[in-house]
Amino acid sequence: MPQILLSEGPAQGVRLLTLNRPDALNALNTALLASLSDELDAAEADPETRAIVITGSERAFAAGADITEMAARDLVGMLNDPRIEHWARIRRFTKPLITAINGFCLGGGCELAMCGDILIAGNKARFGQPEINLGIMPGSGGTQRLVRAVGQSLAMQMVLTGEPISAQRALDAGLVSEVCQPELTVERALAIARTIASKGPIAVELAREAIQRAEDMDLAAGLRFERHAFTILAATDDRREGLEAFQNKRKPTFSGR
């Protein structure tokens, strides 16, 4: 059974990837992460793919790491864990990535969801980092991404107690951008992805990078990067097309040049 289900496409510039370990609540084992890395490689190499949506099932986006697999690794096994490179590959993905989340989004699943640029949640989703209950801690970005998303106090509470939060609290805290009915979650994420895919690819890439860099730069450095990126766009065909289309009251056709 494939670890990742790929929708036919890209349709309107968007690929849908579905985590597919239903018997394990989509627990993230090495094989699933390797398959996800391969799919992201293919998407990045495909000029027709301009955005990605990753989802799971209605019961679980992903309920965490594969504990059986993890328990079999000693210190040396953890140092040489092949999942480290797969996680790095996911973080290096250069195109817009949206995660559509229903049900359990815990541990490694929450860490994967937070790799998304935009998080859309069903109203029954539950977000948490429960590793502390097993005598361990988040190891794939949970402590770092969570504090940037929800602030130190709530991140500390979630990580040190292991207690999950609701979709509504995740929305209030800034972890997700929208909450909707569970059956509408994927379609809403796809609609956002299609909207992004319709924009100028170079502008999307540079705007995305500028926002990401804001986490690691002081304001002055961030503003310099933003202005540099803004200036670079003056040399693109897409900028000329966008301005001409606006002036002529027509829909632009972006080429990515």
Active-site pick, 65, 113, 155, 170: 65
Catalytic residue (one of 39, 43, 131, 210): 131
Residue 7: CB atoms within 10 Å: 15
Report how far residue 175's alpha carbon sits from residue 149's, in angstroms, rounded to the nearest whole number. Answer: 5
Instruction: Check if the beta carbon of residue 119 is closer than 8 Å to that of residue 177.
Output: yes
Q: What is the C-alpha separation between 125 and 146, in angstroms, rounded?
A: 16
**Catalytic residue (choose from 13, 111, 121, 226):** 111
Catalytic, out of 64, 103, 107, 108: 108
∠ Cα 233 235 239 (to 5°):
55
- Is residue 131 part of the annotated active site? The answer reads yes
- CA-CA distances (angstroms) from residue 69 to 13, 18, 80, 238? 36, 21, 14, 48
CB 46 within 8 A of CB 91: no
Catalytic (active site) residue 111: yes
Residue 16: helix, strand or coil by DSSP? Answer: strand
Is 43 tagged catalytic? Answer: no
Q: Would you please indicate which residues are annotated as catalytic (active-site) residues?
A: 65, 108, 111, 131
